[in-house]
Structure 1
Amino acid sequence: MLGGAGALLGVAAGPAQAAEVAYATKCVPPAGVGLEPVEGTAKVQITAPATAKVGDEVQVVWKFVQAASKNPDLIDLPKDSVQPSGTLKAAGAQTAAIAMQGPRENPAIPKGGDMVLSDMKGTLKLTAPGAVTLTPDAYAVNVMSTDTKCAPTEAVQPAATINVTAGEGTSTTTPTPTGSTTPTSTPTTTPTTTPSDTASASDGTGSGQTDFTGKEVKVPYKCVTPIGDKDATSPVQINAKKSGGSYDLTVQFKKSVMDSPADIPKDSVKPSMEVVLGGADTGTVHVEGPLNSAPIKTGDPMTIPDLTGTYKPGASGESTLSPGVLTIRALGTTTTCTPTTALVSLTLDTTEQASGASGGSSSGGSSSGGSSTGGGLAETGAGDHGALKALGLVAGTAVLLGGAVFTFLPRRQSR
């Protein structure tokens, strides 16, 4: 997406001028997201002083007037999540590459809405008399630690010209443009180890026992995401507390496997699961977690909170509980992860209750409670060499030429 606009001037510079130029642009999404490059026409407005003298340091502004595309119908982009940077070429009396950058400031951008990028600014010290032309060149759009790189596909006409006159202290030294961007580094995460995949049970026998702790099982998932199917493995544990003839269930996602690469708004992530019943009982039990009640800061662990719900047995005997279909709703999108193997985390000795679960497709109430004591995002790939985080949807949101897709951030591998 391209644009341009207004300039702040050096003290001795003349009145400001603003000029607009339109040109064809090609933007390349980050590698590995499965998207083709996007081509479109962009309009950029450059504001700079009309006149100045040698030795002046002038500030120029690049405004994004018209984006090459809209935000596609995938996600709503949060407020202040998009940051542009680029290069403005100076030619003529002097040659320089002026580093331009805008603040991470934008309104919330709905699905299908116009992309909005902040004005970029840069500074040029004038070193020689004559006409200095200013022409937009390549730029990048950064959203949550991913960059889309864009460049003109045709010769671009100068958008502004500064007429520089000789002055005292004329310098012939090479100009030193300021306003350079600071590269955004992809956050790394510390790989975590997980226990074996052996399905396990916590026996519900024993007089007076009310608390039952399941074992952690590594659940292999097939996830349907906004950009295609992904494999994921996540360590999950199901615990139960007896309450009358029913059980209060708590499903925990163990260990956080990545840190958030960007600020995530409050009330934007909602997880839920269908716990699968087996053995004597059949059906599923719906459990869910709360919306994130506070923003998640950059660098903080990304976690799935505890999921809670109520299991009312529909049969008497040994009933098993296994992690089932997991659903993550985030920023207007849905990712659904289905286990490829049933792994029992907990076994209970149950007694049939009226209107219990047996034979039903789902049962029990759901709770909006739960705590984020140890939740973690699913880790994709096999073994210790999984390269993607399938449930890192929110953290991996990226804008691609006025569009948005979900990306999955690689983690640093270790032996």
Structure 2
Amino acid sequence: MAAVPAQAAEVSFATHCVPPAGIDPVDGTSTVEITAPATAKVGDEVEVVWKFVQAASKNPDIIDLPENSVQPSGTLKAAGAQTTDIAMTGPRENPAIPKGGDMVLADMKGTLKLTAPGEVTLTPDAYTVNAMSTNTECSPTETVGSAATINVEEGDGSSPTPTTSAEPTDSATPTDGATPTPSTSPSATETGGGQTDFTGKEVEIPYTCDSPLGEKKATSPIQINAKKDGGSYDLTVKFGKSVMDSPADIPADSVKPSMEVVLGGDDTGTVHVEGPTNSEAIKSGDPIEIPDLTGTYKPGATGSSTLSPGVLTIEALGTTTTCKPDKTSVSLTLDTTEQEGGAAGGSSSTGGSSSTGGSSSTGGSSSTGGSSTDGGLAATGADDHAALKALGLVAGTAVLLGAAVFTFMPGRRAR
């Protein structure tokens, strides 16, 4: 990281912020200060800092935000001798913010590797405010002036590689070559009759969840794996690792998920799988990990059977949330041999529970006017019901929605 003299400059711009559905959009003014080196050389990697002098709005006059519950992220645009987007991120650090108080956002930082001589200007762009697991997306509504300029000189022998650490496309490219392997749904015959372990492909499943606080939308990457045990299969349903932080302190043994895996092809019915409750308490702001769901599939037909994610049921803090897939996709295909008392006709496995004959868990009710959960904190005093729903709060007390456990940021997946 280059150690060079720094400069700081402010810029203000009109901003349009979109909170969760049910809360009116916000129009305000953002004032930010950008700190960057005044001079540098080609090949240097420099740090830039985005400081919020004034956020576009205040905390809604609805609820106090606790300490360290708000985290900003955004994009700083570099132009001139070098054009790229710089990803900026700040820590989840803030004082307690009272109802109606000024939003206090931590400084965001990012790095830029300089690749060409000349002047590089830095201009603030869109940013996101994450508060208690909800997002507000804020974008400029006017042309924003540059806040800082780096004078980049020719390097002294350093290799001006065209790759910059700040360009999202550079980090995304290597993963493209790594995805084809799990993207096909293997069957039991692909590696011969002696195969016992079967890995399904990861599929994105959009859910409409009927929660205690109304309808919620959630999209989850889900993968179904199987291990042959005699004529049956031990199933493991894996969720992409959660990128959601807990909106409140969650006691141990208070969140329990389960699912009905949908059978298709030559077999019919569902297979019940479930996961353990959280073994340890989860502190507010900590990530919520999604446990594996397990159960046993006893084939009820001979032939080729498909397995797809179905209805989710989440019990959390004394509430029950039911999530039905708007659509589903096959994660795994197995060559099966009918077993006595198997799943054809709908019998399930774990815990002695049984499904109704041949009923499918797919085709859950589609959303009608439902809102996506990747909205965010309201930025002005809005109707109390809307803000309470957005923040997942009842009577000022945080309540973990079962749907929230399975909510993932768009475009982010981890296995």
Q: TM (normalized to structure 2)?
A: 0.48
- Bigger CA radius of gyration: 1
Q: TM (normalized to structure 1)?
A: 0.48
Q: Which has the higher helix share?
A: 2
